[in-house]
Amino acid sequence: MSRVGVIGVGHGRFGRRSDATVQELAFEAFRAALQDAGIERKELDASIIAAVPEYHKQRSVAGVVQEYLNLNPLPTWLTEAACAAGSAAVRTAWMAIKSGLHQVVAVIGCQKMTELATADILALMGRVGEVQWESVFGTTFPGYYAMFATRHMHDYGTTHDQLLQVAVKNHHYGAQNPNALFQKEVTLEKAREGEPVASPFCVYDCCANADGAACVILASEDRARALSKKTVWLDGLGCATASMSVLRRPHLTGLPSAVGAVQQAYRMAGVTAKDIKVADVHDCFTIAEIMAYEDLGFCEKGQGGRYIEEKRSYIGGGGVAINVDGGLKAKGHPIGTTGVSMTYEVVKQLRGECGPRQVPDADIGLTHNVGGIGQYCFVHVYKRD
């Protein structure tokens, strides 16, 4: 069967972008992706916008972005899967191309989160959980993941220092990423001093809200080979879901949706966890990255704390190099954009274009994008020729 490939990528700076509207953020990334692909707008035949609309004053953000990018009258639509909206959009583009309906599709993740007050954002995030029986009791996004961390510590002896070492690593690489929100290293000693958020978390266990955009352009195999000499192929896709309520989950030490999604993606791509050289995983909180190590098969269940403590997720650490763009923790988390940003990083890694953050001999990469508290998970496997 024919393949679908990424022929161009673009990324803007993440941060408190009071200098730009959501349309302008989208344009930064879109223009860069067109330039990277070496094509013009006329080569596109559709766009897909990834965003979570509640964070924008504009009700139908896809329409205003499409107009600003001068893409009318091409078809466009919005995807939303909470924090996994970006990867949902990439999957949707892949399906549209595989069906033969479209040949070249731009996927644009764009989010303005700082238009709302922090209290409003926390309220929205808390409602990602089950509204009828959980969020009415005051659940928050950090609170949910703090429960995961507490249970992981109880069952496997994971320590808070091990959690904080995820933050140390991701800030180390974020300091080398010009698009990251936080471009400053953090020591373990400094991280330990962070103000408490939700036990056992302190501020350094948590990612930050941000504004920002990223864009990837996907094409059918025929069009990709005609348009690009640096295509990266999206050869494995997995998607699974879990209950909205954590009370209905079989356990609190991992995400069943991630396990299901990665099994699908590995099988489709014809690879195993041992073949992955570089990965961008959903580290909304430090425990989320440790659970991802285990859910994705990079280490045994319960060994995620040791995996980071031994620095196996660093470049050259002997394991899979993970979140070497800073991850959500240091790069920031404009929620509709994150999955597209992950794709950008893995594509750049497989093309050997990441400078001091380059993973040697990276030929197979993975993205792991979680929506909410694990209700949705999308895993994608990318390969270079």
Let me know if residue 188 belongs to a domain: no
Let me know if residue 262 belongs to a domain: no
The confidence score (pLDDT) of residue 153 equals: 98
Range of the domain at 29: 4-116+209-227
Are 169 and 177 in contact by the 8 Å Cβ rule? The answer is no
Residues catalogued as catalytic: 83, 333
The confidence score (pLDDT) of residue 140 equals: 87
Long-range contacts of 223-230 (CB under 8 A, 24+ apart): 223/7, 223/43, 223/103, 223/104, 224/3, 224/4, 224/5, 224/7, 227/7, 227/37, 227/38, 227/39, 227/43, 227/104, 228/5, 228/7, 228/8, 228/37, 228/38, 230/7, 230/351
CA quadruple 163, 323, 212, 355: dihedral sign: positive
Let me know if residue 63 belongs to a domain: yes
**pTM of the predicted protein model:** 0.96
The confidence score (pLDDT) of residue 239 equals: 98
The confidence score (pLDDT) of residue 137 equals: 83
- In the structure encoding, which two tokens stand for residue 179, read together? 């698009």
The confidence score (pLDDT) of residue 81 equals: 95
**pLDDT < 70: residue spans in the chain:** none
CA quadruple 30, 32, 36, 39: dihedral sign: positive
List beta partners, residue 79. 50
Let me know if residue 307 belongs to a domain: no
Q: How many CB atoms lie within 10 A of CB 17?
A: 22
Let me know if residue 23 belongs to a domain: yes
Let me know if residue 252 belongs to a domain: no
Let me know if residue 108 belongs to a domain: yes
List beta partners, residue 108. 49, 215
Domain count, the chain: 1
The enclosing domain of 67 has a CATH number of 3.40.47.10
List beta partners, residue 159. none
pLDDT 10s digits, 181-220: 999 999 999 999 999 999 999 999 999 999 999 999 999 9
Let me know if residue 9 belongs to a domain: yes
